[in-house]
Chains A and B, each alone.
Chain A
Amino acid sequence: MSTQSDNQTAAAGNRSSGWVVFVFFMIGLVASIISGWVAFPELLYSTKQQPIDFNHQVHLEQMGGQCNSCHFFREDGSFSGSPTLEECKSCHMYPMTGNENEQKFIDEYVNQDKEVPWLIYAEQPPCVFFSHAAHVKGADMQCATCHGDIGHSTSLREYQENRITGYSRDIWGKSMLRLGEPDHGGRHQKMNDCAECHLKETGSKGDCFQCHK
């Protein structure tokens, strides 16, 4: 077999050949490290635009500076999340400002009686029970602590979705390896992040059922 002689040549110790081997090893190493750290995260996430570029700042000013004017607790203790079309319509039945986003909202959603398919940055998977009441009412936390200062943003950032899991990149977290710091000024919301904060604040990570359903 031909390999036999190759091996013997190699065994004889051809210096430059050894270097070539090492160089190739390094090429492989560096290339994979770069693609793994730089290209992979780009490939892993798809980028989506919000259906309407919503201006939180303007609404916050109009609604008296309170998040809970639109994101409120219902009587049964549940949290309303994003406003429904019905709730938006209570002001935006007809154009109020001449803003093009507002016009788009009225044309495409109000007039067609269609809910706006907002992409929720902090959307938790179906197995999670997250209690806004416990955090906001019970522990007196501010919205911005987790969500960042989205209330004063004038434009919605793009939404990044993990192609494998369907998770929003915002909840991405510490488990395994995080790929970058949160860029929204709030916190990551994967389980380990929750547990870390709970451990710090309450002395216990909490029992499973506290957050799972």
Chain B
Amino acid sequence: MDLIGYENYFWLSTALFSIGILGILIRRNMIILLMCIEIMLNAANLMFIAFAYKWGNMDGHIFVFFSMLVAAAEAAVGLALMVLIYRKFKTVDISYLDKLKF
């Protein structure tokens, strides 16, 4: 029996994704949140690769490639924002960011 089937990778990636969500929900440090987002992205990437392997189709790789690009861009802008926020509020605690209301 081959464990390296899409099924097992599905469980793995689901678990990773849930861990990412968990992190987002229980942590307040914005940088940790960013990290958790990366975990979730990676869970999705993993799924792509697993299915690409399953179907013998390399389109999935391309998608992962692009999602990495986006993640990189996001990290760059996101971190720049975070530095800015820290300078302004002197904290990275998202519960202080409650100005987003009417």
Partners in one complex: no
Interface residues of A (CB under 8 A from B): none
